[in-house]
Amino acid sequence: MSPSATAGLQAQPASRAGRREQLWSKAVSLILLLLVTAAMLSPLAFMVSTSLKTSKELLIYPPQLLPDAPAWGNYAELFRNGEIKFGQQYMNSLIVAVSAVVGTVLSSALVAFGFARYRTKASGFLFLLVLSTMMLPYPAIMIPQFLLFTKLGLHDSLLPLILPNFFGSAYMIFLLKQFFSTMPSELYEAGRIDGCSEFRLFWNLTLPLAGPAMATVAIFTFIGSWNDLLTPVLYLDSQENFTLPIGLASMMSSKFRLAPWNLLMAASMLTAVPIILLFAVAQRRFVEGIVLTGIK
């Protein structure tokens, strides 16, 4: 598709026709893309506009595209309304996601380093075991895990959401191992001659070089944890311990008042902010990570 510099000299006319064809296909592509993009973004535009409507404007039909005057107060209301506990839930989500990132990055890096650097009798088999758990569906093991954590008295706390991250994630181990394997062994020899312990080799030599890969791991761990609904549904009981996904879901299902769509949409907007920020700051890592892991 890219016109190559070596395009045959003697094929001038064909090439002109080809160029016209290309122009056409570009124009058609452009129009199609504009349509698709409009379709993709319109729900989000509706989300923004709903988040700025007053409760009266919600029921106007046909739906207004723009509220008469943006009700920014909806956003403030989320934090002011003590019944919703939105601020507290935002905090909980941050605590869980950041702990998950720290836990996953550290533990996965350790494990990946182990697999990348050493070959023992069992390492091949063990790595295969790691790979085989990559596809393991969480619902298949959630019941015993749930019983285990409840027996430990950890129900209604953030710990069951955080702790499992400190034992490495198969995906991330795989990703980091690929990265570590590309590191030159001379590096380690030099380190050993300087008298570094194995752990120092990992901590002082490898980790600083693995920044980009770890950033990718961090981003996707954050997103996974930030958006998770099933685990908090199992473990969290009281509103002040909720993370955002379950908080949002339960805000909608309150039996005792009308569903506050404007507040719900405002809350959804604010929930998306950290992810959008991550994307804005680290778009390249982001895209790379998606491509490498296939995680959405």
Partner 1 sequence: MNTTEKAGPFANSAAKPAGKLAKSAAAAALLTVVLSGCSGSGNSGGDTVTITHYTIDSPDRTFVEKLIPDFEAKHPGIKIKVTKAPYEQFDSKLQSAIAAKNSPDVTSQWGYGGFMEYYNKGMLMDLSPYLGDFKAADYHIPDNVMKIYEVGGKTYGIPLNSYVSVLLYNKDMFDKAGLSYPPTDYEDKSWTFDKMVEDAKAMTVDSKNLAEAQYGLDFGFGERDQRPQYFGANVYSDDTWTNGGKPSQVNLDKPEVIDAYKKIYGLIWDQHVSPSPAFSKSVAGQFGDPFLSGKIGMSVVGSWSLAASSDFNFKVGVAAVPQGPNPKVRSVLYIDPLFVLKDSKHPKEALEWIKYLVSTEVQKKSIDLSGGNPPVNQEAAEAYYAHFDGIDAAQIKQVYEGAYKYGFESYNHLIDNYSQINELFINELASVENGDKKPEEVLPGLQQKLQKLLGRVNK
Partner 2 sequence: MKRTIGASQSRAFYAFISPWLIGFAVLTLLPILASLYYSFTDYDVIHAPAWVGLGNFRELFHDEQFWNSISVTLKYTFISVPLTLLLSLLLAILINQKVPFQGFFRTAIYFPSMISGVAMSLLFTWIFNPQAGPFNYVLSLFGMDPIPWLLDERFALWALIVMSFWGMGAGMLIFLAGLQGVPASLLEAARLDGAGRLRSFWHVTLPMISPVFLFQLIVGIIDSFQVFTQAYTITQGGPNYTTWFYVYNIYISAFKNFRYGYASAMAWLLLAAVLLITWFILKASNRFVYYEGSR
Query: Residue 164 touches which of partner 1, partner 2, none (CB < 5 to 8 A by kind)?
Result: partner 2
Cβ-based nearer residue to partner 1, 40 or 258: 258
Is residue 166 within 8 Å of 204, Cβ to Cβ? no
Query: Residue 140 touches which of partner 2, partner 1, none (CB < 5 to 8 A by kind)?
Result: partner 2
Please tell me whether residue 259 adopts helix, strand or coil conformation.
coil
Please tell me whether residue 91 adopts helix, strand or coil conformation.
helix
Q: Which residues bind partner 1 (CB under 8 A)?
A: 59-61, 83, 146-147, 150-151, 153-157, 159, 233, 237-239, 250, 252-261
Query: Residue 47 touches which of partner 2, partner 1, none (CB < 5 to 8 A by kind)?
Result: partner 2
The whole-angstrom separation of Cα 193 and Cα 204 is: 14
**Minimum distance from CB of 233 to partner 1 (Å)?**
8
Element (H or E) spanning 287, and its range? helix 283-293
**Minimum distance from CB of 291 to partner 2 (Å)?**
4
Query: Residue 10 touches which of partner 2, partner 1, none (CB < 5 to 8 A by kind)?
Result: none
**Minimum distance from CB of 154 to partner 1 (Å)?**
6
**Minimum distance from CB of 260 to partner 1 (Å)?**
8
Cβ-based nearer residue to partner 1, 15 or 268: 268
HEC string of 5-66 equals CCCCHHHHHHHHHHHHHHHHHHHHHHHHHHHHHHHHHHHHHHHHHHHCCCHHHHCCCCCCCC
Query: Residue 296 touches which of partner 1, partner 2, none (CB < 5 to 8 A by kind)?
Result: partner 2
Query: Comparing C-alpha atoms, which of 259, 241, 240, 243 is closest to residue 251?
Result: 259
